[in-house]
Amino acid sequence: QKRRFETTAAESTKSSTGRVILVTGTAGFVGYHCAKFFKKRGDGVLGLDNFNPYYPVGIKYDRAQDLEDSGVYTIKADLNDRSMLDHILQEYKVTHVLALAAQAGVRYATKDPASYVASNVAGFVQLLEACRFCDPQPRIVYASSSSVYGLNTVSPFSESHQVDKPASRYAATKKANEMIAHTYRHIYGLSMTGLRFFTVYGPWGRPDMFAFSATIKIHKGEALKIFQGPGGSELERDFTYIDDIVQGCVASVDRIPASTKETAHFKVYNLGNKDPVTVTYMIECLERAIGKKAIKNYVPMPPTGDVLKTSADVSLATRRKAQLVNVKAEKELDYKPTTSLQDGINKFIAWYDGYYKDGLTKEMASYVPY
């Protein structure tokens, strides 16, 4: 087992570009796609994931297997396994880290808030600790989230606004990532770029997220619960196609400068789509791609907790409708999301139909997202 790991990890990190990238969260949705892209263009890539059971793990093992077939090895380890991190970073001379591993999802934070702190705060700190002792230090791009905008009444969503009112413990840990990153830049001179992703969807997506869970329900003929805002207003979201997010992650990795204590880099970027759309429009795109009508059950938004955040998002989304979320990323990363929602959904459904051609797996058929 050990020998196989060493051999495969060594193969996986062979690079024709000079870059050796540790991608954490490669059994997850975004990490899988980014790792695949890097490998294809010749970078050395190594994955790390603890395969946590937040959603059905079958899809995680399938992603990791598919990556391994493309030459990317995923080490099964936790971010809190510091000696493993030290080993990986030093043995394979990692030049860049794309830190995507995290306890994702907003609602699960109500059930197990400590898991967010363990992975997203303690695990993130372990990773940065391991990086700071490397010579040279790897440059680090990490995932934040649009959820950091929370209840702040800032408009448009701009990186220059102070955001200090997270509406979920998930969002609080993501904001904590940005602040912790800043301290590592300030004290140790690590180069750090944070990316605030806006609701990502696409092939190999997350079963707890709307596009995936709604597709399962439409197929089963089950009703979709759709929250309405005050006065029956429509919810809006920036659904962003995975290829556009990969483009932003790749540009961030390619442009992050090597640091010295004096020149260490610290940036945060929004990575979203150009136009927020209503959830109803998203469902129409799904209906067209699937070729079946959804049963829609409109319900008033509950006044507290999780959904209050959605409510805040709605009003913010409405106010920033005409304004670009990605101004800074467009200027500094040349980030240009190009995939229309219908095109992206068509690609997602084509993948879904192929992946589940023999029907849903047992664990997915009985899965109820939080």
| Residues at the contact surface with ligand NAD, assessed by CB under 6 A | 25, 27-31, 49-52, 60, 78-79, 100-104, 119, 123, 143, 145, 197, 199-200, 206
- Residue identified by tokens 């971010």 is 79
- Of the two residues 141 and 349, which places its CB atom closer to ligand NAD in the complex? 141
- Of the two residues 141 and 294, which places its CB atom closer to ligand NAD in the complex? 141
- Of the two residues 53 and 291, which places its CB atom closer to ligand NAD in the complex? 53
Number of CB atoms found within 10 A of residue 186's CB: 13
Instruction: Find the residue with minimal CB distance to ligand NAD.
Output: 28
- Of the two residues 145 and 259, which places its CB atom closer to ligand NAD in the complex? 145
For residue 262, the minimal CB distance to ligand NAD (Å) is: 30
For residue 28, the minimal CB distance to ligand NAD (Å) is: 2
- Of the two residues 14 and 367, which places its CB atom closer to ligand NAD in the complex? 367
Question: Which three-class secondary structure string do you get for 329-354?
Answer: HHHHHCCCCCCCHHHHHHHHHHHHHH
* Tokens representing residue 241 in the block: 């196609």
For residue 131, the minimal CB distance to ligand NAD (Å) is: 15
348, 354, 359, 361 alpha-carbon torsion, rounded to 10°: -80
For residue 105, the minimal CB distance to ligand NAD (Å) is: 7
Q: Which of 60, 40, 51, 313 is nearest to 199 (CA)?
A: 313
- Please enumerate in sequence order all residues whose Cβ is within 8 A of that of 357, keeping only pairs 6 or more positions apart, or say none: none
Question: In the annotation, is 170 catalytic?
Answer: yes
Beta bridge partners of 193: 141, 267
The residue from 142, 170, 184, 269 that is catalytic is 170
The half-sphere exposure of 347 on its side-chain side, counting CA atoms within 13 A, is 14
* Angstrom distance (rounded) from CA 350 to CA 118: 36
- Of the two residues 148 and 314, which places its CB atom closer to ligand NAD in the complex? 148
Q: Which of 31, 38, 86 is nearest to 253 (CA)?
A: 38
For residue 74, the minimal CB distance to ligand NAD (Å) is: 9
For residue 260, the minimal CB distance to ligand NAD (Å) is: 28
* Angstrom distance (rounded) from CA 207 to CA 332: 32
* Angstrom distance (rounded) from CA 78 to CA 211: 28
- Which residues are known to be catalytic? 170
